[in-house]
Structures are given as structure tokens and as C-alpha cells.
Amino acid sequence: MNRSSTWITKAAAVFTKDLRCELRTRYSLTTLAMFAFTTLVVVSFSVGQGGLSPRVQAALFWIIVFFSAMSSLAGAFVKEEDTGTAQTLRLYASAPVVYAGKLLFNMLLLFLLSLLVTPLYIIFMNITQVNWAILAAVIALGVVGLAGATTIIGAIVAQAGVRGALLAVLSFPVLLPLLVLAINGTTAAFDMSGWTNAIDSIRLLAAYGVIMITASSVLFEFIWNG
């Protein structure tokens, strides 16, 4: 077996291990779903019956996604520290491999979250016209960027004593560009203004994801191995 294929196999193994643990307890998934569902209901209950501009609708959507993501994205690393399995994982694979596995797992969680939230949001908020192609592109790239930026911060937070709100505090400055771009893109999807308005945001979202994942994979080494 050559070197690159072991690399991918090991990352896939880390990912499958996390997925299997998750399917046994369903802790992250349920927390994420319930958190998203609660905020969604509160928002639509209070302001959902129409009259909101596409920009406000887009902003509320990303606020729901952001805070839901903050509720459980640190989990992947916190769990390893809590159960004392981090050391074994260090023996098994090098830092970039562990990072890749955890990143994939976080992406999957966020992808499932957006699959749950998006249709419910559109139904509850009574949004009648949606440019689905733009919305799908913005959400997909937004999820990649969100996972790319928060996975490494999750690893930092897992090593700090107090965890509670630290992930949100540390993530917010880093995620602010992503939120601005995603809200811009989603506005274009909701007000049917077409690709010309959305394409800049979509390109920059892609660039953001690439920068975050590259920077993380370099810096993760220092966090993981000390």
C-alpha cells in the first residue's frame, strides 16, 4: 500500500469511528437538531408571517445555522479529551490525518443540519420564491467554510478548562467574513436577483473555505502535538 492511500484510509477510519460513536449515542445530532429546531420555531413564531425583506430572512437563517453549529461542533475533540482517547488517537495517526477525519465529520454534521433547517425555514417563514441553485451553492460552500474554521477552534476549546461559550467567542471574529458573504449570497437567492448578484459572494465563499482549511491543516500540528 503506498503512502497516500494509507493517509486517506486512516483519515477515513477516524471519520468512520466518529460516525459510529455518534450513531450509538446520537448526542451531537440530537443536540444540533433540537437547538436548530427551537431557534427556528422561536423565529418563525414571532416574526415568520411574512413582511420580512429577503435580507432579514437571509440574516435570520444564518444566525440560526451559526448558533446551532456552535452548540455542538467542539464535540468531536471534547469527546476525545473527556474519554481520554486523545493519546491513543495520537499514536494511531499523524495530526493532518486526524484533522481531515474530524473535518469530514463536522462537515457531515453541518450538512445534515442544513438539510433539516433549510426546508423547515422556507416552510415556516412562508418564503414563496427561492432560487434553489444559488441557495444550494451558498449553503454548500458555507457549510465547508464553517466546518473548516470551527474544527480547529474546537480543538483549541477542547483543551481549555471552561468550554461553554468559548467556541462562539473564538469563532465569531473568524467567521464574520463567512457570515457576511453567506448572508449576501442567500439574499440573492431569496430576492430572485439572479447570479450576477450572487457570484461574487459565492467565489469569495469558496476562497474563504480554501484559506481556512489550508491554514488549519498547517496549524493543527501545533495544537495536536503540543
Partner 1 sequence: MVRTLLQFGLFLLLAAVICFSFITPAPQQQIGEASRIFYYHIPMAWVTVLAYLINLIYSIRYLKTRAVLDDWRALWSAEIGTVFCLLATLSGAIFAKVTWGVYWNWSEPRMLSIFMLLLIYGAYLSLRAALANPERKGLLSAVYAIFAFPAVPFFVFVFPRITESLHPAESVLDKNLEMQMSGPVLWIFLLSLFCFTALFFWIFSLGNRLQRLRLAVNGGA
Q: Which of 76, 170, 182, 189 binds partner 1 (CB under 8 A)?
A: 170
Q: How far, in Å, CA of 54 to CA of 198, rounded? A: 13
In the complex, the smallest distance separating the C-beta of residue 56 from partner 1, rounded to whole angstroms, is 14
Q: How far, in Å, CA of 11 to CA of 17, rounded? A: 10
Interface with partner 1, residue 216, by CB under 8 A = yes
String of DSSP letters for 101-164: HHHHHHHHHHHHHHHHHHHHHHHHTT-----HHHHHHHHHHHHHHHHHHHHHHHHHHHTSS--T
Q: How many residues bind partner 1 (CB under 8 A)?
A: 31
Q: Which stretch binds partner 1 (CB under 8 A): 21-29, 41-49, 94-102, 170-178?
A: 170-178
Interface with partner 1, residue 169, by CB under 8 A = yes
Interface with partner 1, residue 176, by CB under 8 A = yes
Q: Which residues bind partner 1 (CB under 8 A)?
A: 152-153, 156, 159-162, 166, 169-170, 172-174, 176-177, 180-181, 184, 197, 200-201, 204, 208, 211-212, 215-216, 219, 222-223, 226
